[in-house]
A and B are shown apart, each in its own frame.
Chain A
Amino acid sequence: MPKKIFIVIAAYNEEKRIGKVLSDLKKKRYKNIVVVDDGSSDNTYEVAKKKKVHVLRHLINRGQGAALKTGIDFALEKKADIIVTYDADGQFLAKDIKEVVKPIKKGIVDVTLGSRFLGNVVNIPTLKKVALKIGIFVVHILYKIDVTDSQCGFRAFSNDAAKKIEINADRMEHAGQILHEIMINKLKYKEIPITVIYDNYSLKKGQSWKNSIKLGIKMLFKRFGR
């Protein structure tokens, strides 16, 4: 029986990119695409709607973690076998999905995590690279999980794993939280090399290094605060 693959995309003010991202995915024959418009003030919702995919709308902006969770909940309602989280800004390549999904399809692992450092990184700024490396170290200390890339938005979950993983961190801390959930639920995971393309657009929208510091502090709070 073919597995039902759902691709979940959180989009916030991505009207310029989301259309192409969705077209690329459709070209690869992915039918179940869920876009969660996270309270965008531009035409993200309309652009996504035109592409005839599932579009959900957050009335107000609640952050990427919250939007992904909404999409994952929706995919679970639709009885997805595999759920892939994907970025709306065109940094990822649709052809990588096949590889990310494969180990779950085969039943080898419950979760796969995309890694830019195992794969290709195109034009990554040094400062960002350093910030990401620090992120890996922090994750190693806090969650005792060794990954080569802790903040990558390209992941895939089996239905079972998606049900187990709780995401209540609304903003960017969800990346750390997912790793934490993998650890406490003892899920099997594997890192898959992926390509990430950096250009001016994605850099502007992406996380600044100031944000990265804030993120680190928040992760500490989350881990020890309760």
Chain B
Amino acid sequence: MISLLQIIGFVFVLFTASRVILRARDKKLKFRETIFWLSVWFVLIFVIFFPELTSNLAKILGIGRGIDVIIYSSIGLLFYLIFRLYVKLEEAEQEITKVVREVALSEKRKKK
């Protein structure tokens, strides 16, 4: 028996996965990132249709319910991704500053 939640979840995953593929086709995503995101969504499809799989994993890890495994690992993943984003953003900011500085200095040199 397939529940409504499973259908919604499935549509959501298909939608996001299609975004990933579109981005990849535009070369906005690197190959490695594409594989990473596709496998995330692939795993989610399994979780949606075979939730009992997660229960087994939960038993192995010593966590109560299958859903908890998903929640814990999602939070972990989210934290990691946010951290990466933070680092990337900081890098981008510094690059912008370098460009702005170089423009300021070279304009000054020109005016001599």
Contact = CB atoms under 8 A, between A and B. Distances in A.
Query: Do A and B bind?
Result: yes
A150 B98 CA distance: 26
A16 interface: no
Contacts of B107: 56-57
Nearest to B96: A62
Interface residues of B, number: 11
A59 B94 contact: no
Interface residues of A, number: 18
B105 A77 contact: yes
Interface of A: 36, 39, 54, 56-60, 62-63, 66, 69-70, 73-74, 77, 168, 170
Contacts of A56: 104-105, 107-108
B101 interface: yes
Q: What does DSSP make chain A's interface, helix, strand, loop or mixed?
A: mixed
A36 B104 contact: yes
B108 A66 contact: no
A35 to B, nearest CB: 11
Contacts of A63: 97
Closest 3 pairs between A and B when the two form their complex, measured CB to CB: A56-B104, A70-B101, A66-B97
B97 A57 contact: no
Contacts, number: 40
Interface string B31-75: 000000000000000000000000000000000000000000000
B105 A170 contact: no
Contacts of B97: 62-63, 66, 168, 170
B94 A58 contact: no
Contacts of A66: 97, 100-101
A27 B39 CA distance: 68
B110 to A, nearest CB: 12
Contacts of A58: 100-101, 104
16 contacts: A36-B104, A56-B105, A58-B100, A59-B100, A59-B104, A60-B96, A60-B100, A62-B97, A69-B101, A70-B100, A70-B101, A70-B104, A73-B105, A74-B105, A168-B97, A170-B94
B81 interface: no
B87 to A, nearest CB: 8
A60 B98 CA distance: 12
